[in-house]
Amino acid sequence: MSNKTKNNPESLRLTPPERRRFRRRILSWYEREKRELPWRGEKDPYRVWVSEAMLQQTRAGTVRLRYPAFIERFPTLAALADAPLDAVLAEWQGLGYYGRARNLHRAARQVVNQEGSAMPETRDALLALPGVGPYMAGAVASIAFGERCAAIDGNVLRVMSRILNLSLPVDTPPAQKTIREEAQALVPRTRPGDFNQALMDLGASICLPRNPDCAQCPVRVLCAGYVSGTQNALPVKTAKKPPEPYTLFQFRAERNGLVLLAQREKTGLFGGMWELPGFMVAGHHEKVDSRRLKAQCARLLGPGWRPGRELTRTMRTLTHRKILFVVHLAENFEKASPQADLNGLLWASEEDFRTLAVSTAQRAAWNAAKSALRNLEGKKNGR
């Protein structure tokens, strides 16, 4: 291998002969060992784009289950653009990070309105779409259009940090510049899409975050981390900030077997999703001031409604937030009707809840509250 100095990112490069060997080895391995995934082999840029949007921040095993149903519901770019956002969010359930679905929908409408349903064909043009970053643009451009460009996801970042034996934190600009430039230099003129997918598969199956299976790696002899024995210490990352704590107080109001739901604003956390009406405060709270709880209940549900007993509390950790969901029963002391059908409120049946766009976190809170209510009813009936 060429002489490399770990503390000088500009020296961390493979030589041209090493790059040629790297390409041959990893493409040969990919032909034998590539993962069988429902979107593999697709050249339809729309379907490649959908799969890559799903794969951002979601495990391939989960995407494998959700991708076919999404494509069946929205088989073309035009079908996605024509669909209401609620339908798209509902079909996205189980994948998390719903901002991706909103961006996918916005981008589909933008393409249909501006390009006549023809997907942009270059990395640079794809970057102009909502929600499309460097990784997704590179993946779609290389796989669907054969453009020679890198696609650097978390797997590829890890692989490249070990190949280059990069001691700098991979989330710093100097390290990312080094990885980006070397990854781009490695992409072959032919089969760029296969090459990028091979790197992703290598990171997903062999070059794992912990205990990489170097004995099975087709490019280990070209890996400076493996040669120097530092692969288990890589990649280096700066310490992450802990997720910020929040408490979401919610109210479960029932009438004739229906439960009142509220739709969140279209943007922001859980944007456009349905949930039990509630309000969020910073920090984790065992209790909130009773006057505030009463005022919020009346504001959200209407006069005559008051918070009853606490039903349940569940904790969910998102990327940057750790949210405590606290659900109270809402009691109607004045027999007043809630402000249903106003301000995004809806009386929903159990079947409605299954088909509406509801986050996984909210589904867990709903189920926990429902179970708590059943237990209360059982105690009242002496069961």
CATH classification of the domain holding 221: 1.10.340.30
Q: What is the pLDDT of residue 283?
A: 92
Q: Identify the band that residue 115 occupies on the pLDDT scale cut at 50, 70 and 90.
A: low
Task: Tell me, yes or no, whether 208 and 335 share the same domain.
Answer: no
Q: What is the pLDDT of residue 334?
A: 61
Higher-scoring residue by pLDDT: 366, 200: 200
Q: What is the pLDDT of residue 162?
A: 97
Q: Which pairs from 68-77 meet CB under 8 Å and 24+ separation?
A: 68/38, 71/47, 74/50, 76/46, 76/117, 77/46, 77/108, 77/111, 77/112, 77/117, 77/119
Last residue of a domain, one of 233, 252, 282: 233
Q: What is the pLDDT of residue 377?
A: 72
Question: Is 60 exceeded by the pLDDT of residue 102?
Answer: yes
Least confident of 91-105, 122-136, 217-231: 91-105
Task: Tell me, yes or no, whether 88 and 229 share the same domain.
Answer: yes
Per residue in 50-98, pLDDT tens? 999 999 889 999 999 999 999 999 999 999 999 999 899 999 988 988 8
Cβ atoms 307, 291 nearer than 8 A = no
Return the bridge partners of 107, or none.
none
Q: How far is residue 91's CA from residue 75's CA, in Å, rounded to a whole number?
A: 13
Last residue of a domain, one of 209, 233, 257: 233
The answer to whether residue 359 sits within a structural domain is yes
The answer to whether residue 3 sits within a structural domain is no
Is 52 in the active site? Answer: yes
The answer to whether residue 2 sits within a structural domain is no
The pair of structure tokens assigned to 2 is 């060429």
Q: Identify the band that residue 2 occupies on the pLDDT scale cut at 50, 70 and 90.
A: very low
CATH of the domain at 278: 3.90.79.10
Question: Is 80 exceeded by the pLDDT of residue 141?
Answer: yes
Task: Tell me, yes or no, whether 196 and 300 share the same domain.
Answer: no
Q: What is the pLDDT of residue 147?
A: 98
The pair of structure tokens assigned to 312 is 């349940």
Per residue in 181-207, pLDDT tens? 999 999 999 999 999 999 999 999 999
Question: Is 90 exceeded by the pLDDT of residue 134?
Answer: yes
Q: Identify the band that residue 344 occupies on the pLDDT scale cut at 50, 70 and 90.
A: confident
Q: How far is residue 155's CA from residue 170's CA, in Å, rounded to a whole number?
A: 12
Q: What is the pLDDT of residue 6?
A: 47
Q: What is the pLDDT of residue 100?
A: 93
Q: Which amino acid is at 257?
A: G
Question: Is 50 exceeded by the pLDDT of residue 3?
Answer: no
Q: What is the pLDDT of residue 239?
A: 83
Least confident of 71-80, 111-120, 205-214: 111-120
The answer to whether residue 343 sits within a structural domain is yes
The answer to whether residue 167 sits within a structural domain is yes
Residues belonging to the chain: 383
Q: How far is residue 225's CA from residue 167's CA, in Å, rounded to a whole number?
A: 10
Q: What is the pLDDT of residue 117?
A: 66
Task: Tell me, yes or no, whether 255 and 213 share the same domain.
Answer: no
Task: Tell me, yes or no, whether 286 and 317 share the same domain.
Answer: yes
Q: What is the pLDDT of residue 241?
A: 86
pTM comes to 0.79
Question: Is 50 exceeded by the pLDDT of residue 34?
Answer: yes
Last residue of a domain, one of 233, 267, 293: 233
Task: Tell me, yes or no, whether 280 and 184 share the same domain.
Answer: no
- Domain span at residue 103 reads 9-233
The answer to whether residue 4 sits within a structural domain is no
Task: Tell me, yes or no, whether 265 and 330 share the same domain.
Answer: yes
What's the domain count of the chain? 2
Question: Is 60 exceeded by the pLDDT of residue 314?
Answer: yes
Cβ atoms 277, 345 nearer than 8 A = yes
Q: What is the pLDDT of residue 224?
A: 95
Question: Is 50 exceeded by the pLDDT of residue 5?
Answer: no
Write the CA distances from 299 to 80, 302, 303, integer angstroms. 36, 6, 7
Task: Tell me, yes or no, whether 224 and 260 share the same domain.
Answer: no
Task: Tell me, yes or no, whether 206 and 256 share the same domain.
Answer: no
Q: What is the mean pLDDT of residues 209-222?
A: 96
Choosing from 10, 33, 42, 52, which is the catalytic residue? 52
Per residue in 221-245, pLDDT tens? 999 999 999 999 999 998 888 999 9
Task: Tell me, yes or no, whether 195 and 282 share the same domain.
Answer: no
Q: What is the pLDDT of residue 155?
A: 93
Per residue in 297-308, pLDDT tens? 999 988 888 999
The answer to whether residue 98 sits within a structural domain is yes
Cis bond before residue 188 (omega within 30° of 0): no
Q: What is the pLDDT of residue 222?
A: 96
Task: Tell me, yes or no, whether 202 and 180 share the same domain.
Answer: yes
Question: Is 90 exceeded by the pLDDT of residue 286?
Answer: no
Q: What is the pLDDT of residue 351?
A: 86
Task: Tell me, yes or no, whether 41 and 70 share the same domain.
Answer: yes
Mean pLDDT score across all residues of the chain:
89
Higher-scoring residue by pLDDT: 345, 215: 215
